[in-house]
Amino acid sequence: MQLGPRFESAFSYASIVHAGQTRKGSSIPTLAHLLMVAAIVLEHGGDEDEAVAALLHDSVEDGGGRERLADVKARFGERVARMVEGCTDSFETPKAEWRPRKERYLDHLASADAGTLLVSAADKLHNANSLLAEQRRLGGARWDRFRGGEDGSLWYYRACTEAFREAPLGDERLEPLVEELHRVVLELEALTARART
């Protein structure tokens, strides 16, 4: 599959929306995460709309709420906007309480469409892989930068893995991605438990 002007436009748009933003507790630009999520989506058979949604999946939550979603829809179409909305767990600033917000997001995954699940799973895989790399490099992840802390964050990644596994769509693209997420979460849990002792 070839990526065309819409992907290039989405990259430019994400660069503007996330200008100056970095990953929590790091100097890594948010844009690096968005590119990695798009790459994972494409590696698992995603189409251009899904890759565009991957580039924009944080734009609503971290860059403008419902007004941003309306702009995404106008620029990139209904399908992309639906996937971006499906990857968003908060439209407000400040965000609602962490645990209920995450529980609502998990409930929503049960009825999400295949594209949303693919982008969401790619997002969770890259996040978990980043934590695992940090755990290996530093001998412990810096959980204090996350509202859920260590226990809540690990619970959330486990719960996401289960929600993706239970999704009723039977999308063959999702299965290997979710199995990879499962392996990463298991290793992250094991290294975290080891770091505690």
Q: Catalytic site residue 107?
A: no
Q: Catalytic site residue 49?
A: no
Which residues partner with 22 through β-bridges?
Answer: 29
Element (H, E) at 173: none
- Residue 6, both tokens: 């819409």
Largest pairwise CA distance in the chain:
52
CA distances from 53 to 10, 13, 42 (A): 8, 12, 11
Selecting among 50, 58, 61, 89, the annotated active-site residue is 61
Hey, what long-range contacts does 147-154 have (CB within 8 A, 24 or more apart)? 147/98, 148/98, 148/99, 148/102, 150/192, 152/98, 152/99, 152/102, 154/185, 154/188, 154/189, 154/192
Selecting among 48, 62, 71, 134, the annotated active-site residue is 62
List the catalytic residues. Answer: 61-62
